[in-house]
Amino acid sequence: MSQTEARKTLKDAPVMWRRINSIGIILDCNSTYAANLRYAKSEILGRSIFEHITKESWEAMNESLKIWFETGKVTDRKITFKRQDESTFPGLLQATSIYDENNNLLGSNTVIFDLTQMSNEKIKEYKEFFREAENRLNEIKEKEYDQLDENSKSEYNGLKKMFDMLLQVNLSELK
């Protein structure tokens, strides 16, 4: 899957990011997601989102999927994630939908905050990253958007919606 300029903003982002399809299969993730779960990216792609959470969180994840299908987004959903070594961490999931040009659901962009890492320094890093990403997406909108193909426009629109949502999250409350 080729990366658009919009998606490149997430490559080495400080937040864990993944893209799933409409049935919960991971299509892409960034290096932060892979490193936090202690997998190689190649071991993550094509896997179900349920492989990275504890069995106790399956019900909460199913509820998240239901909310996502009904509303197009999920906010502030607490899920316990499971690393490859079986250690766990509490995460907070935020997701927005991605649609094609005909408004058919393609999947979601999901950001996960590791709640054990929510220090003042980390919050500052996240806020700065969100602002920089928003600026980069605005730049793309002004200079390149009209030349993008439909898939790239769908990706851009999905990421824009995700960052708009993330900028609304009160990160200080997550500490």
**Tens-place pLDDT, residues 147-163:** 989 888 988 999 999 99
Domains with residue ranges and CATH for the chain: 5-173 (3.30.450.20)
Alpha carbons 40 and 28: distance in angstroms, whole number: 12
The answer to whether residue 11 scores a pLDDT higher than 70 is: yes
Angle at 19 between CA 172 and CA 162, to 5 degrees: 45
Q: What is the DSSP letter of 170?
A: -
pLDDT (0 to 100) of residue 3? 60
The b-or-e profile of 9-39 (16+ CB within 10 A means b, else e) is bbeebebbbbbbeeebebebbbebbbebbeb
pLDDT tens across 112-140, in order? 999 999 999 999 999 999 999 999 999 99
Q: Which of 97, 170, 127, 129 is nearest to 30 (CA)?
A: 129
Query: Could you tell me the two tokens for 21?
Result: 């399809």
pTM for this predicted structure: 0.91
**Stretch (H or E) spanning 77:** strand 73-82
Alpha carbons 6 and 140: distance in angstroms, whole number: 7
